[in-house]
Amino acid sequence: MQQATDSPEPGTSIMSSEAYIQYRGIPLPRMAHPKESLDYAEKFRVEDSDVFVVTYPKSGTIWMQEILPLVLNGGDATPVKTIPNWDRVPWLEETRLAVVVDEMKSPRGLVTHFPYFLMPRSFHASKAKVIYVMRNPKDVIVSSYYFHKMAEFLDKPGTFDEFMEKFLEGKVLFGKWTEHVKGWMGTDLGDRIMYITYEEMVQDLPAALRRISGFLGRNLSEEVIQKIAEQCSFTSMKKNTMSNFSMVPKVYMNSDTSPFLRKGVVGDWKKHFSPEQLARFTSVIRKELEGENLTLPWSLD
């Protein structure tokens, strides 16, 4: 999420009771999104060849920051071994984009957590492609809970029960999960958008890579697919200093509390939800999706 690399003055705290700003109704972490970066995103000139990976936070963003350059460059691992993820495939809404944009080669890979309605005007007029990565919201909330514990620029999550209420009310970064999914699943982008799940990627990464490379018009050999799968495995990424956020000072992200690449599994929610929490979570999500013409790839129960 966050790519700050300068430490604050000794003795100063970056914690604030106002960790969030409201941007067109969406809570965003203040530190990661100064006004200039949001203005820049709004006016950003999208090119037809751009590829956007869109995620609700904790759904597989940095995984795709590893996958995308490898797929686009025929398996060449140089970018993922030499460029930090936040500069390699920058967030549309964060400050680094303006810094690195001139160095980016076409086709440019970008990530964003923006809901659909916040995408820049030029995106809609372009032919840019989108890969929307979804993750079971029960695992999203667990991942987000630990992220809130370790990310010092966010409000502390409190108990899991307290955090669940905040999550369900959308009082977390980028608002409600249901709104994000509804917006992005209801677009009229046609064949410009591809949907994939985190679970699909965990279950069979080479198969997911074949789908992604097909969507991006890359015909990669089986040997290259296997090489990319190895480079993008949880174990490899955890060791890759360009991808594991170890360069970010602990005053911003405290990996001693919880590492960014935490578990990388499906179903960790089972170790966190009580039966009451499961019932509450499921009923709220179900109610908010009621009447929507969308099929979720996993059961909410």
Binding residues for ligand PPS (CB under 6 A): 1, 55, 57-63, 139, 143, 146-147, 202, 232-234, 237, 261-264, 268
Rounded to an integer, what distance in angstroms lies between the CA atom of residue 226 and that of residue 217?
18
3-state secondary structure of 83: coil
User: How far apart, in Å, are the Cα atoms of 191 and each of 14, 188, 195, 198, 254?
Assistant: 43, 9, 10, 20, 40
Rounded to an integer, what distance in angstroms lies between the CA atom of residue 110 and that of residue 243?
15
Tokens (6 digits) for 127: 């032919």
Rounded to an integer, what distance in angstroms lies between the CA atom of residue 222 and that of residue 206?
9
* Cβ atoms within 10 Å, residue 184: 23
Query: To the nearest whole angstrom, how small is the minimum distance from the Cβ of residue 98 to ligand PPS?
Result: 19
- 253 forms beta bridges with 151
CB 80 within 8 A of CB 120: no
User: How far apart, in Å, are the Cα atoms of 40 and each of 25, 36, 43, 71, 91?
Assistant: 18, 6, 5, 27, 12
Backbone angles phi, psi at 193, to 5 degrees: -120, 140
Q: Which residue, 126 or 143, has its beta carbon nearer to ligand PPS?
A: 143
Query: To the nearest whole angstrom, how small is the minimum distance from the Cβ of residue 241 to ligand PPS?
Result: 14
Q: Which residue, 62 or 71, has its beta carbon nearer to ligand PPS?
A: 62
Query: To the nearest whole angstrom, how small is the minimum distance from the Cβ of residue 143 to ligand PPS?
Result: 3
Residue type, 288: E
CB 193 within 8 A of CB 129: yes
Query: To the nearest whole angstrom, how small is the minimum distance from the Cβ of residue 293 to ligand PPS?
Result: 26
Query: To the nearest whole angstrom, how small is the minimum distance from the Cβ of residue 31 to ligand PPS?
Result: 14
**Residues catalogued as catalytic:** 113
CB 118 within 8 A of CB 187: no
- 27 forms beta bridges with 22
Query: To the nearest whole angstrom, how small is the minimum distance from the Cβ of residue 243 to ligand PPS?
Result: 8
Tokens (6 digits) for 234: 């949880």
Rg (CA), the chain: 18
Tokens (6 digits) for 49: 């060849």
Q: Which residue, 16 or 235, has its beta carbon nearer to ligand PPS?
A: 235
